[in-house]
Amino acid sequence: MAQELTGTLKNIKDTGAITLGFRDSSIPFSYLDDNQKPVGFAMDICYKIVDAVTKELKLDKLEVKLNPVTSATRIPLMANGTIDLECGSTTNNAERQKQVAFTNTHFLTASRYVFKKSSGLKSIDDLKGKTVVSTAGTTNIKQLTEANVAKGLGANIIPAKDHAEAFLMVETDRAVAFVMDDILLASLVAGSKSPGDYEISKDAFSKPEPYGIMLRKDDAAFKKVVDAATAALYTSGEAQKIYDKWFTQKIPPKGLNLNTPISAELKNEFAKPLDSPNPDDYK
Amino acid sequence: MNYNWNWGIFFQPNPMGTGTYLDMLLSGLVLTLKTAALAWIIALITGSLVGVMRTLPSKGANWFGFAYVEFFRNMPLLVQLFLWFFVLPELLPKGAGTWLKQLPNAPFWTAAIGIGFFMSARVAVQLQAGIGSLPRGQKMAATALGLTTAQGYRYVLLPMAFRIILPPLTSEFLNTIKNTAVAITIGLLELTGQARSMQEFSFQVFEAFTAATILYLLVNAVVVTAMRFLERWVAIPGYITGK
């Protein structure tokens, strides 16, 4: 070690522990399985980062602490040092980069809508004058609001507290469609009472947006280690294996299969890892 | 603490295209006030009726008042709103259920009425206690004067009881305002909901909730001051509530 350790790396070295923030129901990225243990695609990536940090700090053993976070608590817990990495499905965008940093993108998702097949919707234009739900505070509700104005849909947009509640609104016919990241819609449909009743639109409200694992801002040394670890993982064939494990095979607790093969954009990103918040950079 | 404070965030345009982040919070505040006002009116009217019923000589009225209060008092407000919004339409005949779901502004009406009923049980208990705290002679004197039961309540008991319970009613009004925050669970973007939205969009958690806290405190300070004036204005010298 030529230089003094600073920031997160120093904390990890001093305490001999790293803390991962996990989500309880962001299937298949980060959620609790039947043993109440956090598992998922983002968790697997985080454990790889932990290995790299252990190696970097030349430690024999690094204790991994797990701390549950919600969309509301992830920022304060990151700011006050409770968690070192947030392993979930947090969208990396320019606005949020003012507060936190993101490592290389681990998923790309576009904003689409889920609807009941019986309602016979075909395109975004079919939402004219209908009641549409989305989750408050998401980029999705923003895109929906913009499309509503731009296309003159005159749709009645209701905000929901969280994804589960928004999906319930479609399930109980309070809304005809729920606009959200397509992968989250896929997992909601797969986990619903009758998955066959629902369909996800071909039409998208946005270009694919990046999800990233979140870390503290202005901690260049730690970010360098984390970026190197994710880049090494994505460019090796191993990322594809981990991807398939969570997106094309049965996953706990109920043996659901999301049947979502890797997209061309994400394949490209894995070949050339990027941490950019700009959707245009992912072709 | 590794947090990027940005108090200027309130004057930056919000992503929803409805002006600045401050405008977003203020629109939430307006919705909070509307919901609280309607809920409080419902709570006062139904709560007073039920409270009176609990003190009437009639067994049936007593029993109804008791059942009403226990029903609305014993379930968390969050659960009640969820029941009215998501469960009730499923229990009704299909036509009526669909009509309920299609109502415009359903979250607002459900929240105002739901919170109104929840608070009415509390108002009822307060009023019953107020009436109960009056000397028994008051009721007898009213009867001796030839007043009917209704007139006795209207001219003797209620004017006294309401004056006695004004201070606890102030607390109940404040509770009504604070309870509107629960309405976010049924998709009403009131002040707390907008603060959460702002936090999700901008990741400026502490600024969003500091602003919401200050707005709630301001509103409640106004309510407390107004109620003080009302107490003074209706006070009768020589009674327990007068100076």
A180-231 per-position pLDDT tens digit: 999 999 999 988 999 999 999 999 999 999 999 999 999 999 999 999 999 9
Determine the pLDDT at residue B16: 86
Q: What are phi and psi of B57, to 5 degrees?
A: -65, -20
Encode pLDDT of A233-252 as tens digits: 999 999 999 999 999 999 99
From A279, A277, A260, select the one nearest A208 (Cα to Cα). A279
- Sign for the pseudo-dihedral over CA of A40, A41, A46, A49: positive
Which of B101, B187, B205 has its CB closest to that of A159?
Answer: B187
Mutate to test the interface with A, among B18, B91, B200 (most CBs of A within 10 A): B200
The nearest CA of chain B is from the CA of A79 a distance in Å of 5
Determine the pLDDT at residue A103: 98
- Chain B residue numbers with beta carbons less than 8 Å from the beta carbon of A78 are 2
Whether the ω angle into residue A253 lies within 30 degrees of 0, i.e. cis, is yes
- Chain B residue numbers with beta carbons less than 8 Å from the beta carbon of A168 are 86
- On whether the CB atoms of residues B115 and B176 are closer than 8 A, the answer is yes
User: Is residue A161 helix, strand or coil?
Assistant: coil
Which of B2, B106, B200 has its CB closest to that of A79?
Answer: B2
Helix (H) or strand (E) holding A143: helix A139-150
Beta bridge partners of A63: A17
Contact (CB<8Å) B185/A159: no
Q: Which two tokens mark B147?
A: 């007043």
Query: CA angle at residue A140 from A139 to A146, to 5 degrees?
Result: 90
Query: β-strand A30-32 against A38-39: which pairing, if any?
Result: antiparallel
Q: Which amino acid is at B227?
A: M
Contact (CB<8Å) A158/B4: no
Q: Which residues of chain B have pLDDT under 70?
A: 240-243
Q: What are phi and psi of A40, to 5 degrees?
A: 140, 175
> How many CA atoms lie less than 13 Å away from B20 in the CB half-sphere?
10
From A23, A57, A9, A25, select the one nearest A167 (Cα to Cα). A25
Residue with the two structure tokens 């006070």: B235
Determine the pLDDT at residue B240: 65
Which of B6, B15, B205 has its CB closest to that of A75?
Answer: B205
Determine the pLDDT at residue B56: 95
Name every residue in A having a CB less than 8 A away from some CB of B: 71-72, 75-76, 78-81, 95-96, 98-100, 131, 133, 136-139, 141-142, 145-146, 149, 156, 158-161, 165, 168-169, 172-174, 216-219
Mutate to test the interface with B, among A161, A169, A179, A180 (most CBs of B within 10 A): A161
Contact (CB<8Å) B187/A96: no
The nearest CA of chain B is from the CA of A75 a distance in Å of 7
Closest residue of chain B to A168, computed from CA coordinates: B86
Which of A95, A161, A219 has its CB closest to that of B201?
Answer: A95
Mutate to test the interface with B, among A8, A69, A75 (most CBs of B within 10 A): A75
Contact (CB<8Å) A172/B107: no
Contact (CB<8Å) B193/A100: no
- Sign for the pseudo-dihedral over CA of A109, A110, A111, A112: negative
The nearest CA of chain A is from the CA of B39 a distance in Å of 21
Contact (CB<8Å) A79/B15: no
Which of A76, A145, A216 has its CB closest to that of B17?
Answer: A145
Contact (CB<8Å) B2/A71: no
Three-state DSSP string of B134-161: CCHHHHHHHHHCCCCHHHHHHHHHHHHH
- Chain A residue numbers with beta carbons less than 8 Å from the beta carbon of B197 are 136-137, 159
Query: β-strand A131-135 against A156-160: which pairing, if any?
Result: parallel
* Extended strands (E) in chain A: 17-22, 25-26, 30-32, 38-39, 63-68, 85-91, 100-102, 107-109, 111-116, 131-135, 156-160, 177-181, 198-200, 209-216, 250-251, 256-257
Which of B4, B17, B193 has its CB closest to that of A136?
Answer: B193
CB atoms within 10 A of CB A59: 13
Q: Does B202 touch chain A (CB under 8 A)?
A: yes
Determine the pLDDT at residue B242: 56
What is the residue-level pLDDT of chain A in tens, covering all 283 positions? Answer: 556 899 999 999 999 999 999 999 899 999 999 999 999 999 999 999 999 999 999 999 999 999 999 988 999 999 999 999 999 999 999 999 999 999 999 999 999 999 999 998 989 999 999 999 999 888 899 999 999 999 999 999 999 988 999 999 999 999 999 999 999 999 999 889 999 999 999 999 999 999 999 999 999 999 999 999 999 999 999 999 999 999 999 999 889 899 999 999 999 999 999 999 999 999 8
Using CA atoms, how far apart are residues A124 and B132, in angstroms rounded to an integer?
62
Using CA atoms, how far apart are residues A38 and B169, in angstroms rounded to an integer?
47
- Sign for the pseudo-dihedral over CA of B64, B69, B71, B74: negative
Q: Does B98 touch chain A (CB under 8 A)?
A: yes
